[in-house]
Structure 1
Amino acid sequence: MTTTPPTAPVTGRPAPDRIAAAGTALARAIQRVTASALGPYQSAVIRIGFAATYLFFLVRELPHRHELYGPDSPWHWDLARQLTAGNEAFSVLLWSDSVLWFEVVYALTILSAAGLLLGWRTRTMSVLFMVGVLSVQNRSVFMGDGGDNVIHLMAIYLVFTRCAQVWSLDARRAARDTERGALGLPPRRDVVGPVFWAVLGPVLLGATLMDGLGGTWWLPVLLWILWLSAAAWWAANRFAPGGQPRALLDVLANLAHNATLVVIMVEVCLIYASAGWYK
């Protein structure tokens, strides 16, 4: 009489169940990435930290601004023009060598850093902050060091993040609009946003026509996309606040935000790893 050896119990799920579970997990991950902007507090810390750092730097160097980046700089305006013509860098300070223009750009950079720090009109302030940082640093590029390069990059990254979800004046305004919606009242009419859009549009058009946006292709494309997207956001919020266009804009903004956070995390790890390697 032969006996059949006992079979080992089957562990794990059958292949179809594992595939279904993997598909469900992937769907949840995609839903999470597209439906929400992750790391609201972390992105707010980045916004506040870099805006405060550069604001402090600009205010501290107020007595020496002309020697560092202005008309009295050892790196003369003509030399800066020659350098940017070769490396295709962007700086609005090279649109004119007048002292008045320098003072206007320096003051606007300070104001944009303060606005970004407070989270007031953060989308617009982040773009103006990026323009200010690039303009000041590229005017006298040899005045900077590795830390300036980090601020240079972070100023660009902040444009793609939804970094005003918390700890900002924009978040307070959004909360008030939510309260008004719960009471059946319409949101407050936005006047400042369209004014910014109407003022900055002709400036961007003039800079594009006069070839004043540097020699790279990505910066003009980015600025025009941001300007047009601001109009799309305003139209969606005004005419279809709960419709599909508004939902699509949210998905695109969340994807850009989350992808940028990944880039920032990788860059921070690379910076600290490089510091450790060189030590």
Structure 2
Amino acid sequence: MAELKRVWRYRPKTKSSTVAIAYWNGKYALARDCMEIVEGGELKARICGDNESSDVSVYKGTFLFGNYDGNVYMVSEEGKLLQKFHVGLPKSIAVTMLADGFVTCGEECALYDVNGNRIWNIKVGYVANGPAYWQGYLFVPDHGKKVSILLKDTGMLMMDLPVGSPVYDVATCDKMLAIAARGKVALLDISDMGRIKDIWIKSGIEKPWNVAFSPDCNYVAFSDAKRGKLRVYSRRGNLIAKESFRSPPWGVGWGEELVVGLEDGTVEAYELKAS
């Protein structure tokens, strides 16, 4: 089994949970009480909305933060507020930044262009983390025990993937879909959208709130906010590494390091070292 070696730790002044993390160009954006950008364990920028931040996503240097105040915030990698759009609650909770706009979800999902003009809107179940995107499709993690697959351009529902338990988060990488659901996690082959296939399914992870692929897509990490653990699997399904925390882990992001956000606000960065 590989070793997770901690390389830095960020201790914010407030103890709000770090519930989501996004990476770009050496910087990690943190969704917590405020919107923060950290580099090498040092705080670079902090922007506060009218309520707590709920999610964060990135596309080529533009971070998009969700917030419980009904707004979403576009922030540059330097930490400058670029745009603020009111989309309303609960639709401002879960967000995904795209090349030509952004998606927000709560009990509905909507696509907006980069100027905040709504293109479509669709009713879904409760969504806590932003959809994953791959080749024209959006994969929506639904607490209604499914992953809903939408056409990105129109919002049309293509199919529902039954999961059997509430889905917290999803991620895509190299024709694979990772699913984090209550009590289990899974990796699926989505190279042929007409024949989606299971690669592997693992049980025993009670509350995998976040999932993140390594940059090379060879590994996938899941937090377990119920059991206080982080688990890393290979794309073949082997358990590569695991770590226990004194405070429950929620947010996970993977860039130059594997970064974990804890319930007490602490953020820890790890390198994956081969044994």
Same fold (TM over 0.5): no
Give the alignment's TM-score, normalised by structure 1.
0.25
Give the alignment's TM-score, normalised by structure 2.
0.25
Higher relative contact order (CA 8 A, sep 6+): 1
User: Which has a greater percent of helix?
Assistant: 1
User: Which has a greater percent of strand?
Assistant: 2
